[in-house]
Amino acid sequence: MTQQPESFPPDPSDSAEDSSSRSGFLYWFLAVCAAVAIHLLTGYALFAAALPCALAAWKSFRCGFWLLRADPVAARGRACWWFFLAVACWKAAATALAIIVIFLALTGKPPPEKETVAASLILIGGLLTSTLIGIVALAATLRARVRVWVHPSVRGRCHGDFRRLAEYVASSVPYSSRPFNHAIPVLALSLFLPVLGAGTALLIATFALHPNDPPTVPCVIGSCLLTVGPLAMIPVYCYLSSRIIAKTPLDCWPLAELIGRLSSGRSTPGPGARPR
């Protein structure tokens, strides 16, 4: 008979986590108000985007750092940490760009050139950072031979207690209760963006160095990277996705392992785990 995960008595942290979840809208409202005030006082949309940007990245960063410290299997904790960090980077970049665009749209004036450049730098910098960290995350996950489940709600659903992960995993088994795995866009960025970036950089460098008579070979290589490159990466993505992307939290944290730790009351991890 299938053993059910152990039920835990309520603890004081539950009310704190629930209150934090209910206050999410309030935090965003206060962050946006503070961003508007900074924008009105300084006139720099880039500075005004700092608070919402940090708020968007904080939940993923905190969840990844918690798993890094709490997961008894050290290799799995490190793999999840790198993916959560990559997610935090692209969330911060996307939020910063969105805030700047909103601020510029509300002014009713054409976007100033310096603000447009700043927004572009934020977007490019965030994507590049997320891509580089994603490559590290991919290598760490392949080395650990695990599948990762990345969603910022994991820590909140477990109330910051890794022992409660069995309850979260069990409740996520039905398809309707499964959220989106944020590791998917990280893997896609890590594979497709380097190919597109290399092709774009090669074409720009070729036409910049030889504006009148660009050599044929670099142009052909750059064009192939932009057109054929993404198509060639699709089977690579499918293969890696089947190896490292968890379809459910159960694929990342086996329920039998979690229940076994709860039943035995062991805090010492098994093979490949972090020493305590």
Query: Rounded distance, CA 272 to CA 276, Å?
Result: 12
Residue 102 reports pLDDT greater than 50: yes
- Region for 129 from its dihedrals, namely left if φ exceeds 0, alpha if ψ lies in -120 to 50, beta otherwise: alpha
**88 or 171, higher pLDDT:** 88
> What's the residue count for the chain?
276
**88 or 100, higher pLDDT:** 88
The sign of the dihedral angle between the CA atoms of 261, 265, 267, 271 is negative
The ranges assigned to domains in the chain are 32-151+180-264
CA angle, 90 then 96 then 40, to 5°: 170
Residue 126 reports pLDDT greater than 80: yes
Q: What digits encode the pLDDT tens for the residues 229-274?
A: 999 999 999 999 999 999 888 899 988 777 776 666 554 444 344 4
Query: Rounded distance, CA 264 to CA 156, Å?
Result: 25
245 secondary structure, DSSP code: B
264 in Cβ contact with 3 (< 8 Å):
no
pLDDT of residue 165: 84
**66 or 8, higher pLDDT:** 66
Q: Which two tokens stand for residue 25?
A: 């809208």
232's CB contacts (< 8 A; 6+ apart) are: 195
**134 or 4, higher pLDDT:** 134
Q: Which two tokens stand for residue 180?
A: 């989106």
Amino acid letter, 234: I
Q: What digits encode the pLDDT tens for the residues 1-57?
A: 444 444 434 433 344 444 555 566 777 777 777 777 876 787 776 777 777 888 889
Residue among 84, 87, 137, 79 at smallest CA distance from 253: 79
Mean pLDDT of the chain: 79
Query: Rounded distance, CA 88 to CA 102, Å?
Result: 21
| 188 class by beta-carbon count within 10 Å (0-12 exposed, 13-18 middle, 19+ buried) | middle
